[in-house]
Chains A and B, each alone.
Chain A
Amino acid sequence: MNRWLLVAAVVVTLALPPLLPERHLGTFVLLGLAATVTAGVSMLMGYAGQVSLGQASFYAIGGYAAGLLTVHGVPTLAGLLAAPVVAAVAAVLLGAPLLRLRGHHLAFATLAMQLILLSLLGRGDWAGGAIGLQGIPTLPVGGDLGYAYLSWAVLAVVLVISRNIVASRAGRGLRAAATSEIAAAAGGVAIGRYRLTVFALSAAFAGLAGGVYAFYLGYLSPGSFPVLLSIEFVVMAVVGGLGTIAGPVVGATVIVLLVQALNTLGTQPGMPGYAPSVLSYAVYALLLVVTVLYLPRGIVPAVTDRLVKERRP
């Protein structure tokens, strides 16, 4: 049954882009990228018990790495491949001190990390400063339709990697350490190294998405990576369901569609100018509260639980 659901999802995903009107194709691309970043957040939170409120930093680092390299003449494909690597290396360097912190302290530290990064990018002339980095070449994928397939192919790769890791020796070590550090360490899990590795892995996912983003838009500025974006990734992960493979896709889809609908509503004639931003902030808050209250484990676990119960009356 699960297999058929997967096949259906893949068929719909492949069939959708040519059918979408031009103006919605961009949403489809950004949704694929958001789900890719969220897959990393979900692994970090759901399987390793760490919270990052600064995941957009690595999205930005990947984007700027790809952008800067290709603006300076590096081939686009090499730039795209460099994006996750640079983001992962940055995560290792930043994570070594940061991951000494736990829980809320870690969350705030990652938030601070992003604020510092945004300030550096805004002041750095080498990165285009506050105006942004312009003239990033495009990937030879054949326009928006190509990017739609590319972003979802990237998502598919990331989801397969996530699934492979979760069901492996390393994944068991991670899940064990998230629930009982003492017992995991006694079983031979090097907890510090594992925490750092999964932080770097989630950063690599974000960096790869950021690389595609840079080529897709051809332009980057610090304003493209607000703190709100990091929070959005966390909300997507929680709403979809932490510790599930499909959760990030479902969560990202729900949030993106909802924000889109509210944006349409907010820009109706007669609405005040601040309506769209107020509505989107409100929807994150509301959705998070409703999810935590009624579906504490997120949409995907709630649905699969129900399916399992129906089969075993």
Chain B
Amino acid sequence: MTSGAALEVSGVSRAFGGVFAVRDANLSVAPGELRAVIGPNGAGKSTLFGLIGGQLAPDAGSVRLDDVRIDRLPPHRRARLGVGVVFQAARIFPGMTTLENVMAGAHATTHAGFLAAAFRLPSHRREEREIRDRAAECLRRTGIEDWAHRPAEELPLGQQRALQLARALCGRPRLLLLDEPASGLRTAERERLATLVEDLRGDGLTILLVEHDVAFVMRLADRVTVLDLGRVIADGTAAEIRADSRVVGAYLGTAA
């Protein structure tokens, strides 16, 4: 049974202390699609994000990446299968340079272990060069190459967000998960981010964008899924969503 979807979320539920954060959610994202998930605060967006990224396990339902079931796998295994994650919080690695932070992101698709490193085996040197090149490319792409050798904790918020994105890209993901990437950014930074996200979609990357800022996603997303109280209440193109009375009632109406 293959669906042809890059990401298939079926009947997924997750409760915390008896209260459903996500309830019987279904979501199907086609390869190369940029899908936005929107919803008011407490709609279950971040829970859904965690269920796909692996920070949370579902109580029921399944998550499939290219028809491979991933919902019982720990996050590092999902990363190796091609799930790249950008958190809303600045989860950077302090004490490491920006370049090292991004190089750490290559973990998912590289292999050299402790022994190879301890004795500097040729396989390790070769891979290390490749990781460095790849990380430099990701830094360039996200516009933070000037910060490469600065400690990551010295970066301003916007650059830390870009750093997380560069780190995720360095793992060569097939599916990129972005959790409210525009929150807290200034207008110019937001524009740059939008351009970059469009660029990545242009490369054929499948992107799931969880976002509170409706205006930001409406112009970017191919399709939009709307969550409210943990349930999917609508799913369609940006135009369809704007015209949907349930969405307007649950979210857009109160936000306007």
Contacts and interface: CB of A to CB of B under 8 A. Distances in A.
Contact of B112 (A169, A197, A198, A243): A169
A179 B93 contact: yes
B136 to A, nearest CB: 15
B91 interface: yes
B105 A187 contact: yes
A182 B88 CA distance: 12
Given A188-B80, A201-B114, A172 B100 contact: yes
A156 to B, nearest CB: 14
A185 B114 contact: no
B160 to A, nearest CB: 11
A190 interface: yes
Contacts, number: 106
B199 interface: no
Interface string A165-200: 100111111011001101111111111000001100
B5 interface: no
Interface string A185-229: 111111100000110010000000000000000000000000000
B124 A168 contact: yes
Interface residues of A, number: 27
B53 interface: yes
Contacts of A188: 76, 79-80, 107-109, 171
A119 interface: no
A169 B106 contact: yes
B79 A187 contact: yes
A268 interface: no
B117 A170 contact: yes
Contacts of B107: 169, 172-173, 176, 184, 187-189
29 contacts: A161-B118, A161-B119, A164-B118, A164-B119, A165-B117, A168-B112, A169-B103, A169-B106, A169-B107, A169-B128, A172-B103, A173-B107, A175-B93, A175-B95, A175-B96, A179-B94, A180-B93, A183-B92, A184-B93, A184-B107, A186-B54, A186-B55, A187-B108, A188-B108, A189-B76, A189-B107, A197-B114, A198-B114, A201-B114
Interface of A: 161, 164-165, 168-173, 175-176, 179-180, 182-191, 197-198, 201, 243
